Structure 1
Amino acid sequence: MGKLALKKESLDLVKAGLEIEKNILKLSVQKYQSQLRAFEKKHKLSSEEFIKKFKEGKLGDDEEWFDWLFAYKAVNHSKQKISNIKEIAF
């Protein structure tokens, strides 16, 4: 694990910035999870089942499938970033 040296004033600023970023990411997760639920309800298919079928090429190239894929990836990406922020020790 790498170490970072900061002055006290800078440390407080970094902590506040990370907290803001974490909150923005949480809002992103909520937004895209809501979109995922809407796609799942509309198509009567879980996102995991959708991803499997999409990767197998069984769904075609409709724009909506790419919107669903984006929302799925956005949720996972945001959750990973939140996890990374939580791992930062001060």
Structure 2
Amino acid sequence: MIAKTEREFQILRNSLERELKLIEYSIQKTTEKLKDFEKKHGISSEEFHKKFEKGEIGDSQEFMLWASEFEALELLKKDRDAIIRMLKLCR
């Protein structure tokens, strides 16, 4: 058990809730960046990333940035899901 008292659980919950808000904000901003790339290039980020991983689309600096944003979004979503699971345990 991580927290022994109700106060410790409250601190843990509050910290997780703050982190969740930061991650959700980052997801929103990253999604906006991906939409800009998609609009510019006329392809979804998912399709772009598949082609990028296969080496079918090139490796320009812009494509490297797009791929990085896409991968960051995937990590952010995993972190968000983990925090949501942890918050359920703290209720």
Task: Confirm or deny a common fold (TM above 0.5).
Answer: yes
Under a length normalisation based on structure 2, what TM-score does the superposition of the two structures give?
Answer: 0.89
2:51 is aligned with what amino acid? K
1:5 CA drift (Å): 3.9
1:87 is aligned with what amino acid? R
Name stretches of at least 5 consecutive residues in structure 2 with no aligned partner. none
Select the residue among 51, 55, 67 that pairs with 1:53.
Answer: 51
Under a length normalisation based on structure 1, what TM-score does the superposition of the two structures give?
Answer: 0.90
Number of equivalences: 88
1:4 CA drift (Å): 2.9
Which one has a larger percent helix, Structure 1 or Structure 2?
2
Name stretches of at least 5 consecutive residues in structure 1 with no aligned partner. none
The C-alpha deviation readout for 1:25-69, integer Å capped at 9, x for no partner, is 000000000000000000001111101110111122201111111
Select the residue among 79, 82, 87 that pairs with 2:80.
Answer: 82
